[in-house]
């Protein structure tokens, strides 16, 4: 029997989302969610029947056309026109894991009963998720306010038999998937198109995806730095708990604790040192990596609030008998958080590249560029160049998107968050951090080889034993790109025995 996650009003957090994705769980609406959705739709239908008063997005045009009244017999055409006209995405296609998250988060938001969608519409989105039918969505087009209009329009198109989807490892039309499944196109009712397009699910899906990856990269950065510390023959006294208790940032304390655990029992760490102090890129790992951990905690709090929120407009409040047009679609909280996260993660790459530089510099008894016969062999000279190039690109990508804004919709939407741009560049920063850490591990494994017969800790030696089956010690010049790629694959598959989402 396949595991099922029931959509409820209970708090959705990263560990739950990770379980849904990793265990390929199916979705189903709880009775609570079904009741909330049904009550909201019934209330909205009744309100339209009883009143001729213009209600934004329900019987009016959208954006700057909000004062144009639409007659009741044209409300379905209005909603379908909205979806089709707003599907203006361009650029690269969004990755499948992020599209799955978009579907999950949109379903969660609609389930609270403040959006006015029909039960059938929400259930069709669940069908898409469960059948692994993923609408083709594009990276560019959202301003991060008024919701992620263009990307979410592409997410909604297949509901009405338009657009494209990924299905069985190919791209087919929205009409074709409905035919294959013998499903009728959803006939959008009043407010439904707007509920599907309004919202921050493009931004928040990127944020969730990035945050889960960031936690793992944070752990990997701690581990790789510990390997480099033994490879560079570092002094462990700066990691003494006493040092960090007098400056008790939570992330700093946690990082120092991890380093001590990774290096516990290391012969190299226990050897008497000739050098009294080590470069900052080694000595200040708790302070630098720790600050990133504290940033993760802040971003986690912001994202957790966002994915458990209603972010479309207008909002329907059945008990209060109100339909209120507000601004919950504005992505400013996410835009700022993702910019902050990108900066914090880029710092893990910055300090990593500096450790790589130290390892290849011919210091502390290590050969120049970590290879026998330097000169005849260039050894590890150029992997450090590659890391330097990547961290430089990260510095360009870390220009905050959230400080920008641009006027749209004839001045009605006169301040926007640019959170969608913050979202897409965050993912690129993450990919770059992954690459830089992989290069450091490649270098530190090679450097530690020259410390033989002295050994590092049992944990590090065990991991490096597995690593060297994929990325062997380099004895003479070879093509380095495939080895860097193998190092990256190793890190991506690195199994962490503890819960790292904290």
Which domains, and CATH codes, for the chain? 2-197 (1.10.275.10), 204-491 (1.20.200.10)
Locate 155 and state its tokens. Answer: 């997410």
Closest CA to 367 of 243, 231, 482: 231
pLDDT given for residue 195 in this prediction: 95
For residues 370 and 470, is the Cβ–Cβ distance under 8 A? no
CB burial of residue 284 (10 Å; 0-12, 13-18, 19+): middle
Q: What is the DSSP letter of 408?
A: B
Residue 148 zone, left/alpha/beta (φ > 0; ψ -120 to 50; rest): beta
Locate 99 and state its tokens. Answer: 């599209």
For residues 383 and 442, is the Cβ–Cβ distance under 8 A? yes
Q: How far apart, in whole angstroms, are the C-alpha atoms of residue 445 and residue 448?
A: 5
φ, ψ for residue 84, nearest 5 deg: -70, -45
Find the helix packing angle between 381-397 and 419-449, rounded to 10°.
160
Relative to beta strand 4-7, strand 26-29 is: parallel
φ, ψ for residue 176, nearest 5 deg: -65, -40
pLDDT given for residue 62 in this prediction: 65
Query: Is 500 one of the catalytic residues?
Result: no
Beta bridge partners of 167: 170
φ, ψ for residue 165, nearest 5 deg: -140, 155
Relative to beta strand 134-135, strand 90-93 is: unpaired
For residues 361 and 302, is the Cβ–Cβ distance under 8 A? no
Q: How far apart, in whole angstroms, are the C-alpha atoms of residue 89 and residue 149?
A: 9
Relative to beta strand 170-173, strand 164-167 is: antiparallel
Locate 434 and state its tokens. Answer: 């992954």
The predicted model scores a pTM of 0.95
Beta bridge partners of 413: 408
For residues 231 and 266, is the Cβ–Cβ distance under 8 A? no
Q: How many CB atoms lie within 10 A of CB 102?
A: 30
Q: What is the DSSP letter of 366?
A: P
User: Tens-digit pLDDT profile for the chain (502 aa)?
Assistant: 789 999 999 999 999 999 999 999 999 999 999 999 999 999 999 988 887 777 776 777 666 566 667 666 677 888 899 999 999 999 999 999 999 999 999 999 999 999 999 999 999 999 999 999 999 999 999 999 988 999 999 999 999 999 999 999 999 999 999 999 999 999 999 899 999 999 999 999 999 999 999 999 999 999 999 999 999 999 999 999 999 999 999 999 999 999 999 999 999 999 999 888 999 999 999 999 999 999 999 999 999 999 999 999 999 999 999 999 999 999 999 999 999 999 999 999 999 999 999 999 999 999 999 998 888 889 999 999 999 999 999 999 999 999 999 998 887 888 999 999 999 999 999 999 999 999 999 999 999 999 999 999 999 999 999 999 999 999 999 999 999 999 999 999 988 877 777 6
Q: How many CB atoms lie within 10 A of CB 319?
A: 7
Q: Which of these is catalytic: 6, 43, 56, 500? A: 56
Residues ≥6 apart with Cβ < 8 Å to 389: none
pLDDT given for residue 67 in this prediction: 66
The three-class DSSP label of residue 37 is helix
What distances in angstroms separate CA 344 from CA 67, 298, 338, one per listed residue?
Answer: 44, 11, 10
Q: How far apart, in whole angstroms, are the C-alpha atoms of residue 144 and residue 130?
A: 28
Based on its alpha-carbon atoms, the radius of gyration of the chain, rounded to whole angstroms, reads: 26
Q: How far apart, in whole angstroms, are the C-alpha atoms of residue 256 and residue 261?
A: 9
pLDDT given for residue 342 in this prediction: 98
Closest CA to 219 of 27, 482, 463: 463
């Amino acid at each position: 029997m396949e595991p099922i996650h029931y959509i409820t009003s209970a708090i959705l957090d990263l560990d739950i989302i990770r379980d849904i994705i990793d265990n390929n769980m199916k979705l189903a609406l709880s009775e609570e969610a079904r009741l909330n959705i049904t009550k909201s739709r019934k209330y909205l239908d009744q309100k339209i029947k009883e009143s001729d008063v213009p209600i934004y997005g329900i019987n009016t045009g959208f954006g700057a056309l909000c004062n144009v009244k639409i007659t009741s017999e044209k409300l379905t055409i209005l909603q379908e026109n909205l979806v089709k006209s707003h599907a203006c995405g361009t650029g690269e296609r969004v990755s499948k894991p992020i599209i799955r998250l978009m579907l999950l988060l949109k379903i969660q938001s609609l389930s609270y009963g403040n959006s006015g969608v029909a039960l059938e519409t929400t259930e069709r989105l669940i069908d898409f998720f469960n059948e692994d039918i993923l609408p083709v969505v594009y990276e560019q087009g959202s301003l991060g306010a008024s919701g992620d209009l263009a990307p979410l329009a592409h997410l909604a198109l297949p509901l009405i038999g338009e657009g494209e989807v990924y299905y069985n490892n190919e791209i087919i039309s929205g009409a074709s998937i409905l035919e294959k499944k013998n499903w009728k196109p959803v006939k959008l009712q009043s407010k439904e198109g707007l509920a599907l397009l309004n919202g921050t699910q493009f931004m928040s899906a990127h944020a969730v995806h990035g945050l889960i990856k960031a936690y793992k990269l944070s752990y990997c950065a701690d581990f790789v730095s510990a390997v480099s510390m033994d490879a560079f023959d570092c002094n462990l006294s700066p990691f003494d708990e006493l040092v960090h208790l007098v400056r008790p940032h939570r992330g700093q304390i946690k990082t120092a604790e991890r380093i001590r655990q990774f290096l516990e029992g290391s012969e190299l760490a226990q050897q008497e040192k000739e050098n009294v102090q080590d470069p900052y890129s080694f000595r200040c790992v708790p302070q630098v990596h720790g600050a990133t951990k504290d940033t993760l905690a802040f971003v986690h709090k912001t994202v957790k609030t966002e994915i458990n929120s209603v972010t479309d407009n207008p909002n329907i409040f059945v008990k209060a008998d109100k339909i209120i047009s507000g601004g919950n679609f504005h992505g400013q909280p996410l835009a700022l958080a993702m910019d902050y996260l990108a900066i914090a993660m880029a710092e893990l790459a910055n300090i990593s590249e500096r450790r790589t530089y130290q390892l290849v510099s011919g210091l502390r008894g290590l050969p120049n560029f970590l290879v026998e016969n330097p000169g005849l062999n260039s050894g590890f000279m150029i992997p450090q160049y590659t890391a330097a190039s990547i961290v430089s690109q990260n510095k360009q990508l870390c220009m905050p998107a959230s400080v920008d804004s641009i006027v749209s919709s004839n001045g009605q939407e006169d301040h926007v968050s640019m959170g969608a741009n913050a979202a897409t560049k965050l993912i690129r920063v993450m990919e770059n951090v992954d690459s830089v850490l992989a290069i450091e591990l490649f270098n530190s494994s090679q450097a530690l080889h020259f410390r033989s017969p002295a050994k590092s800790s049992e944990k590090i030696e065990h991991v490096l034993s597995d690593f060297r089956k994929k990325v062997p010690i380099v004895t003479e010049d070879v093509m380095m790109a495939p080895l860097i790629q193998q190092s990256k694959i190793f890190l991506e598959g690195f199994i962490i025995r503890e819960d790292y989402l904290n």
